[in-house]
Amino acid sequence: MARINFGGVIEDVVTAKEFPLKKAQRVLKDEVVAVLGYGVQGPAQAANMRDNGINVIIGQAKEDKQYWKKAIADGWIPGKTLFPIEEAVKRGTIIQYLVSDAAQKLLWPKVKANLKKGDALYFSHGFSIVYKKQTGVVPPNFVDVIMVAPKGSGTSVRRNFLDGSGINSSFAVHQDATGRAMERTLALGIAIGSGFLFPTTFQMEVYSDLTGERGVLMGALAGIMEAQYNELRKHGHTPSEAFNETVEELTQSLIRLVAENGMDWMYANCSTTAQRGALDWRHHFRKAVEPVFAKLYRSVATGKETEIVLRVNSAPDYKVKLGAELKEMRDSEMWKAGAAVRELRPERRKKK
C-alpha cells in the first residue's frame, strides 16, 4: 500500500502500481466471477473485468426481460456466460451481489442456498450486511465477505475505464473464511478499473454513501439548484438566464476547475467580485445546512433511511411511482430549460 497525506491525515491506499493488473489476473485466474444483476453497477463492472481478461458470467432473472435482453445485447451468451441467478451462483466462485438493495433482501434465500465453501460474496455497498436485522442477509461462515465500492455510478465506472482514468473505490473485508479474502478484494478492485482503492468498513461505507447521495451528491444539489432557480425566476430572470447561472456554469465550467486543482484554485480563477461574494456567503450556507446534515446522518445511522428504502422500493408499484416522480422533475420548467440549453452546446449542434 502507498501512504498518502490527506489534509494532514495519513492513509493507506492501493493503486495499480502497488497491485498491478497482471497480479490481479494471477490472483483471479482460477476464479469464476458471477455478477448478479444487470441494472446499474453490474454491466459496468462485468464489462471492465471481461476486458481485463477475467472469467466473468452474468446472473440475471429471465423474467426481467429488459435486463436479460440488455445483457444479450452487450455480448453475454445465454447458457454460456448468461444464466438465471441460482445457476450463476452455483457456477461462480466469487459472487458479486449487485442487484438493488431491496432485491438483495428478496433474493437472499436463493443466493444463500447455492453458496459453496470457499466462495467469496462480494458487495459494492455495505447496506445489506450492516442493516442485517432489516434485510436478513447473514452470510454463512464458510465464505469470504468482501466489498469494493466504486465512488460513482455504473455509467461513470465504465466511462472512466474506457478513457483510462478509472474511478476511485473503497474496499473492505468483513469476513475472511479462506485466508485469501484481502487479495481477492484488491484483485477485484483493480480488475473493475479502480483509479485507486482506499480502505473502509462495511458500516463506514454505507453511512458515508447514504449521507452523500442524500446530501451533496444528489439530494442537496438538486434542492439548492431548484431554490436558486426559483428565486431568480421570481424576480423576472428568463429561464435560460436562471438555468445558466444555476446549473450550466457549474457543470460546464466551475466544477471542472474544482476537479483539476481544488476549490481554492477555482476561486483563484474567477473574478474578484465572485471570489469575495463566494468567500463571504460560503459560511452562511454552511451554517444553514449543518443542522440538516446532522439530522440526515442520524437518520442513516439509526436505520430509518434503510427502512424507508426497503419498504418503498419493495412495493409492487415502485417503478410506476418512481417514473412519476422523475417525470415531475423532467417536466419542471427548470429542467425543460436545461434540455434546451444542452441542445445549444456546440458538440450537440455539430452532431446535427
Q: What is the pLDDT of residue 140?
A: 97
> Residue 349 — very low, low, confident or very high, per pLDDT cuts 50/70/90?
low
Q: In the annotation, is 235 catalytic?
A: no
| pLDDT average, residue stretch 129-151 | 96
Residue 278 CB-density burial (10 A; 0-12 exposed, 13-18 middle, 19+ buried): middle
CATH code of the region 2-200: 3.40.50.720
Q: Which of 108, 112, 116 is nearest to 136 (CA)?
A: 108
| pLDDT average, residue stretch 253-282 | 93
| pLDDT average, residue stretch 277-292 | 96
Average pLDDT, the chain: 94
> Residue 8 — very low, low, confident or very high, per pLDDT cuts 50/70/90?
confident
pLDDT in tens, 80-117: 999 999 999 999 999 999 999 889 999 999 999 999 99
Catalytic residue among 125, 174, 235, 237: 125
pTM for the whole structure: 0.89
Q: What is the pLDDT of residue 352?
A: 62
Domain limits of the chain?
2-200, 212-351
Grid cell digits, residue 244: 445558466
**Which residue intervals of the chain are DSSP H helices?**
21-27, 41-51, 65-73, 85-91, 101-113, 127-130, 132-135, 154-162, 181-191, 202-214, 219-234, 239-243, 249, 255-261, 263-268, 272-301, 304-313, 318-330, 333-343, 346-351
Q: Which of 52, 61, 62 is nearest to 31 (CA)?
A: 52
> Residue 14 — very low, low, confident or very high, per pLDDT cuts 50/70/90?
very high
| pLDDT average, residue stretch 190-202 | 94
